[in-house]
Amino acid sequence: MALRTLALSFLFVLTASGPAFAADGAPTNWIDLLWRTVTIVLVLGVIWKLAGQKILTFFADRRSGIERELHDLEERKEQARAKLAEVEKRIANLESERQAILADYAARGEALKAEIVAKAELSAAQITAQAKQTAQHEIDQAVAAMRAELAEQITNAAKDALAQKLSPKEHEKLIDSFLTKVVLQ
């Protein structure tokens, strides 16, 4: 490989320097040309020997880096195409998704409404039953209070009527008969 590079360099120098010497009209000095060519070849050979492997490695690494970047860009391009297709598909299905979401929310709303109505009816039934129970309790208390008042009034009226009709002797006789009945029983 180095020999091929050396030969190519020699041909390049000869081809490039020949017209330069012939341009001034003087005859070409081939020995001088040969020494210059050998010098250039030696300089290029030394450069190649010292840095040739690094130059090759640099360009090989650069090439593989570019290939990796191209491969990564190709993958990103494919991913972008897939995402674009997905977004286009979602845009196309946007109306059906919107309808589905609206139907779902409408169904949830109806279910919530039915639940609220059922709870309200249950609460109303409980409140009605409690109100009836409270009203019945108040009625019972009012009747008991009226009975107690009526009994007291009847007792007072009977007491007054008896006090007017009975003499003190009849009164004592009535008490004795009552006590006799209580003791015997």
Q: What is the pLDDT of residue 116?
A: 92
Q: Check residue 35 and give left, alpha or beta (phi > 0: left; psi -120 to 50: alpha).
A: alpha
Q: What is the pLDDT of residues 13-63, one digit of tens each?
A: 666 666 655 555 555 677 888 888 889 889 988 888 898 889 889 989 999
Q: What is the pLDDT of residue 83?
A: 94
Share the mean pLDDT of the chain. Answer: 82
Residue pair 10/37 in contact by the 8 Å Cβ criterion: yes
Phi, psi of 52 (to 5 degrees): -60, -45
Q: What is the pLDDT of residue 143?
A: 86
- Please tell me the pTM assigned to this model: 0.34
Phi, psi of 170 (to 5 degrees): -65, -35
Q: What is the pLDDT of residues 103-159, one digit of tens each?
A: 999 999 999 999 999 998 899 899 999 989 998 998 989 888 888 888 788 778 777
Phi, psi of 27 (to 5 degrees): -65, 150
Residue of 82 and 93 predicted with greater confidence: 82
Q: What is the pLDDT of residue 71?
A: 94
CA distances from 97 to 46, 93, 109, 110, 158 (A): 73, 6, 18, 20, 90
- pLDDT at 10 exceeding the cut of 90: no
How far is residue 108's CA from residue 115's CA, in Å, rounded to a whole number? 10
